[in-house]
Amino acid sequence: MKKNVVCIMMLVFVLMLAGCGKSGSEGSDVAAIKEKGTLIIGITDFAPMDYKDDQGNWIGFDADLARKVADSLGVKAEFVEIDWDNKVLELDNRSIDVVWNGMTLTPEVTNAMECTKAYLNNAQVVVVPASEADKVKTAGDASKYSFAVEAGSAGEQAAKEKGFEYISVSSQADAVMEVQAHTSGACIIDLLMAGAMIGPGTSYPELTHTVELTSEEYGIGCRKGSDLAAYINDQMKAYYKDGSMKQIAEKYGVQDAVIAQ
């Protein structure tokens, strides 16, 4: 009898350990976020998606939408700058709850994350000094330049596919700075970022974007199997229907890129 009791106690202990070890993909990330009181959003400094205002607050099309989702959950939005090349690892180790930063829905991304429906159209474009623009009409024309690209980005993937010579840097903003400093002849960044960051009236008036290398769509990434992606889909559909998504898009000049939800 004593032996049976010991066996039963050991079995209960093992089952308790198994329960404690459940991952977020087996439970509910939505419930866990509500319980902890924060939605942790992985981002990079990427205007007009996520960037800081003069007071140091994160703003942008993605930042404003993420706050609306956090409000709908009854929690606080917390923005964390991440190394874009490590975004999947950040999700899997629970340093962040979601990647929401103008993320291109590539096969690599959709295989590694639970992604939302696409919500914005975009392209990868070549950025050069404005004085060089007339020389870059095709991808072949661009191949003569040395490029700077963000590590782990769709821009880096485009450079690989085109066979361009390139270096990897920490962010798209850093890639633009490489061109401004003439340490790289060109860079590849998102079209939406190019529209907000370079050209007349910006911090980089002497740069311009030229040929589009790819066309693509943005999505939002959660842990594989997470119920948070479906929750965000429902919220985005509601924001599109009530007009608030369009209003935020117009605030940041991306209204023409919004995809119907």
Do 168 and 188 belong together in one domain? yes
Query: According to the model, what pLDDT value does residue 26 have?
Result: 54
CB 101 within 8 A of CB 43: yes
In a domain, 164, yes or no: yes
Do 244 and 176 belong together in one domain? no
DSSP labels, 34-90 = HHHTEEEEEE--BTTTBEE-TTS-EESHHHHHHHHHHHHHTSEEEEEE--GGGHHHH
Do 104 and 230 belong together in one domain? yes
In a domain, 46, yes or no: yes
Which phi and psi angles does 242 have, rounded to 5°?
Answer: -85, 0
In a domain, 19, yes or no: no
Do 130 and 142 belong together in one domain? yes
How many Cα atoms are found within 13 Å in the side-chain-facing hemisphere of 55? 3
Do 140 and 173 belong together in one domain? yes
The three-class DSSP label of residue 207 is strand
* Nearest residue to 135 via CA among 183, 60, 184, 186: 186
Do 197 and 248 belong together in one domain? no
Torsion of CA 235, 237, 242, 245, to 10 degrees: 80
What single DSSP character describes residue 27?
S
Distance between CA 99 and CA 39 in Å, rounded? Answer: 11
What does the angle CA 95 – CA 116 – CA 196 come to, to the nearest 5 degrees?
80
Do 204 and 231 belong together in one domain? no
In a domain, 7, yes or no: no
* Nearest residue to 235 via CA among 62, 31, 119, 72: 72
- Other Cβ atoms less than 10 A from the Cβ of 220: the count is 28
The three-class DSSP label of residue 188 is strand
What tens-digit pLDDT sequence spans the chain (261 residues)?
Answer: 444 444 444 444 434 434 443 444 358 999 999 999 999 999 999 999 999 999 999 999 999 999 999 999 999 999 999 999 999 999 999 999 999 999 999 999 999 999 999 999 999 999 999 999 999 999 999 999 999 999 999 999 999 999 999 999 999 999 999 999 999 999 999 999 998 899 999 999 999 999 999 999 999 999 999 999 999 999 999 999 999 999 999 999 999 899 999
Q: How far is CA 135 from the centre of its chain?
A: 31
What single DSSP character describes residue 133?
G
How many Cα atoms are found within 13 Å in the side-chain-facing hemisphere of 178? 24
In a domain, 1, yes or no: no
In a domain, 10, yes or no: no
Residues 6+ apart with CB under 8 A from 73: 30, 33, 34, 39, 231
Query: Residue 217 carries which side chain, given as an amino acid letter?
Result: E
Query: According to the model, what pLDDT value does residue 62 have?
Result: 98
Q: How many domains does the chain have?
A: 2
Do 139 and 192 belong together in one domain? yes
Do 173 and 133 belong together in one domain? yes
Query: According to the model, what pLDDT value does residue 27 have?
Result: 85
Do 161 and 144 belong together in one domain? yes
Tokens for 246? 């369009």
Distance between CA 222 and CA 48 in Å, rounded? Answer: 21
In a domain, 159, yes or no: yes
Do 58 and 186 belong together in one domain? no
CA-CA distances (angstroms) from residue 258 to 18, 81, 172? 44, 24, 21
Q: How far is CA 235 from the centre of its chain?
A: 18
Query: According to the model, what pLDDT value does residue 256 have?
Result: 87
The three-class DSSP label of residue 250 is helix
The three-class DSSP label of residue 185 is coil
Do 73 and 85 belong together in one domain? yes
In a domain, 5, yes or no: no
Report the CATH number at residue 157: 3.40.190.10
Parent domain of 150: 121-216
